[in-house]
């Protein structure tokens, strides 16, 4: 792969391709085929963020080999989501892994220093939503964002949320995480002038249908500027929040 990159750069140097053509070739450079996985080493060129490993359903050996492939090709930090503790323990014997049990996240390397436009706020309706919230918050921090956590500020005691109005108003993007009826996203969406990413959680009694009630409530929010990710998808919310917080004007 390094040889192919060098050929592209040499072609650019001698004028046989343009800068735009070289950029396109780099963005579409080939992946590495490990047999059980095709590792995309140039995702950061296309999307600005390197490949993240989804840990659920993979063996520790598969995760280790994917991580080694990424590291050998210059990736300095790796995020592994939905990682069980037993698998994390096995990986830690071969790689320097920092594991967060609550969020089920594994991190190789250090967090990027915050360089986003502003702050990302992660708010939860209740304490039971914190595991999903930590997945979102740690993902955003891993991707170089300043994150403020506002936990247990749901509509059952609205004064708890209103006590943080100054912080809410100063955010670049807010992640609202709630189960039960999922009303937190609508309330926040009606108070702030920034995008709100709603995350329904599978928290609640029987009629909550493992998060379906909160999902439908959030999808039907009457507040403008509220978008919704899948049930318990803290990673997706943290990733999207980071993209919003790092947006640049394109000519």
Together in a domain, 176 and 232: yes
pLDDT per position as a tens digit, 142-158: 999 999 999 999 888 99
CATH code (residue 208) = 3.40.50.1970
Tokens (6 digits) for 147:
């994150």
Closest CA to 60 of 80, 75, 76, 40: 80
Closest CA to 95 of 78, 74, 113: 78
> Which range of residues forms the domain containing residue 181?
119-245
Contact 65, 100 (CB under 8 A): no
Together in a domain, 171 and 230: yes
- Total domains, the chain: 2
Residue 6 located in a structural domain:
no
Domain end position, chosen among 69, 89, 108? 108
pLDDT at 1: 43
Together in a domain, 135 and 164: yes
Residue 3 located in a structural domain:
no
Closest CA to 211 of 187, 227, 232: 232
Together in a domain, 43 and 126: no
Residue 24 located in a structural domain:
no
pLDDT per position as a tens digit, 166-196: 999 999 999 999 999 999 999 999 999 999 9
| Mean pLDDT, residues 232-249 taken together | 91
Together in a domain, 70 and 128: no
Together in a domain, 128 and 236: yes
DSSP class of 42: T
Closest CA to 168 of 126, 123, 224: 123
Phi and psi for 138 in degrees, rounded to 5?
-70, -35
Residue 21 located in a structural domain:
no
Together in a domain, 144 and 223: yes
Together in a domain, 241 and 178: yes
> Strands, DSSP E only, in 125-168?
146-150
pLDDT at 109: 87
Residue 229 located in a structural domain:
yes
How far apart, in whole angstroms, are the C-alpha atoms of residue 2 and residue 24? 16
Least confident segment among 41-55, 68-82, 117-131, 161-175 = 41-55
Helices and strands: H and E segment counts in the chain: 11, 11
Domain end position, chosen among 40, 74, 108? 108
Residue 1 located in a structural domain:
no
23 compared with 237, residue with greater pLDDT: 237
Together in a domain, 67 and 37: yes
Mean pLDDT of the chain: 89
pLDDT category, 23, cuts 50, 70, 90? confident
Q: Residues of the chain with pLDDT > 70: what percent?
A: 92
Residue 61 located in a structural domain:
yes
Domain end position, chosen among 108, 137, 152? 108
Q: What element of type H or E holds 63?
A: helix 60-72
**Model confidence at 108: pLDDT above 50:** yes
pLDDT per position as a tens digit, 220-230: 999 999 999 99
Provide the whole-model pTM.
0.85
Tokens (6 digits) for 15:
């004028």
Residue 251 located in a structural domain:
no
Together in a domain, 123 and 104: no
Together in a domain, 152 and 71: no
Together in a domain, 125 and 241: yes
**Model confidence at 2: pLDDT above 60:** no
Locus of tokens 């994150």: 147
SS3 content of the chain, % helix, strand, coil (to 5): 45, 15, 40
């Amino acid at each position: 792969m390094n040889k192919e990159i060098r050929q592209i750069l040499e072609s650019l140097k001698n004028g046989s391709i343009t800068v735009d053509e070289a950029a396109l070739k780099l963005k579409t450079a080939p992946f590495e085929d490990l047999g059980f996985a095709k590792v995309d080493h140039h995702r950061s060129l296309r999307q600005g963020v390197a490949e993240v490993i989804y840990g659920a359903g993979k063996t520790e050996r598969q995760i280790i080999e994917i991580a080694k492939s990424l590291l050998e090709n210059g990736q300095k930090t790796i995020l592994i989501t939905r990682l069980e503790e037993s698998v994390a323990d096995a990986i830690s014997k071969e790689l320097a892994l920092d594991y967060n049990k609550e969020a089920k996240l594994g991190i190789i390397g250090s967090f990027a220093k915050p360089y986003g436009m502003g702050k990302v706020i992660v708010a939860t309706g209740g304490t039971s939503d914190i595991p999903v919230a930590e997945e979102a918050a740690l993902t955003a921090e891993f991707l170089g964002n300043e994150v403020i956590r506002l936990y247990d500020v749901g509509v059952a005691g609205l004064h708890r949320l209103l006590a943080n109005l100054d912080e809410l108003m100063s955010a670049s993007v807010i992640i609202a995480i709630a189960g039960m009826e999922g009303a937190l996203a609508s309330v926040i969406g009606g108070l702030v002038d920034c995008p709100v990413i709603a995350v329904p959680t599978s928290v609640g009694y029987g009629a909550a249908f493992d998060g379906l009630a909160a999902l439908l409530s959030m999808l039907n929010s009457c507040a403008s500027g509220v978008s919704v990710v899948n049930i318990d998808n803290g990673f997706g919310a943290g990733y999207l929040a980071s993209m919003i917080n790092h947006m640049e004007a394109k000519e």
